[in-house]
Copies of this chain bind each other. A is one copy, B any other.
Amino acid sequence: MGGVKIDFWHDFASTYSYPAAMRIADLAAARGVEIVWRPFLVGPIFAAQGWRDSPFNLYPVKGRYMWRDMERVCGTLNLPLKRPEPFPQNSVLAARVAISLEGEMRQRFTRAAYHAEFGEGRAIAERAEIAAIIASLGLSAEATLANALSEPNKDKLKRQSAEAQAIGLPGAPCLVTDEREIFWGNDRLEQALDWAVGVRR
């Protein structure tokens, strides 16, 4: 294509990654930007900061704010919101499946998984839930999961998560331009995409 690309880094445990995943395709298309969907695990980045749980659980004041904010964000976007239990969900399996898929199918799986998790409150940490999501896309759950759980694919996710840490991502979601400008948060999608096409605002 030779056009402008931007990396969309997201974690399946991350609340704000949900509205970001649902909004980004249209915003990118309107600016002619290609999105590279990059699932990663934010856990090692948090662990390096001493956090063994979601900061939204460790710091209840932040957690209460975030859930109310998510209600508002999803409300204005007409996205359903239902908190999964427990929160956060272990996101390793979903990330392994996403990174094992290519192109349009990766995006479709990603959006379907976020919808299941935060739109319907389903436990995407569970293999049965992920299998159902895969099947809903017309893929073989058995073959897809076998590929996702293969050692080369597990390593691929590990390398991608290590890259996120090396770039210095402070959390999820983030958009990162070719020049490694990082934009953190669902709030910043428009600004990041504008930046990618040379518009500063």
Which residues from chain B contact A108 at a C-beta distance below 8 Å? Answer: none
Residues of B within 8 A of A49 (CB): 58-59, 61
Pair A184/B75 contact, Cβ less than 8 Å: no
| Contact present for A200 and B76 (CB under 8 Å) | yes
Q: Tell me if A62 is interfacial: C-beta within 8 Å of chain B.
A: yes
Contact: B170 with A68, CB < 8 Å?
no
Known interface pairs A49-B59, A61-B49, A201-B76; A68-B187 also in contact (CB < 8 Å): no
Interface string of A162-201 (1 = CB under 8 A from B): 0000001111000000000110110110000000000011
Residues of B within 8 A of A62 (CB): 170-171
Would you call B187 and A65 a contact (CB within 8 A)?
no
Give the Cβ gap from A46 to chain B, nearest Cβ, in Å: 10
Contact, CB under 8 Å: B200 / A68: no
Could you tell me if B187 and A64 are in contact, using CB atoms closer than 8 angstroms?
no
Contacts of A69 in B (CB 8 A): 184
Instruction: Jot down 14 A-B pairs with beta carbons below 8 A, ordered by A.
Output: A48-B61, A49-B61, A59-B170, A61-B169, A61-B170, A62-B171, A64-B168, A65-B168, A65-B182, A65-B184, A72-B200, A76-B200, A76-B201, A185-B187
Q: Which residues of A contact B (CB under 8 A)?
A: 45, 48-49, 58-59, 61-62, 64-65, 68-69, 72, 75-76, 168-171, 181-182, 184-185, 187-188, 200-201
Knowing that A64-B170, A65-B168, A187-B187 touch, tell me 15 more A-B residue pairs with CB under 8 angstroms: A45-B61, A48-B61, A49-B61, A59-B170, A62-B170, A62-B171, A65-B184, A68-B181, A68-B182, A72-B181, A72-B200, A75-B200, A76-B200, A76-B201, A187-B188
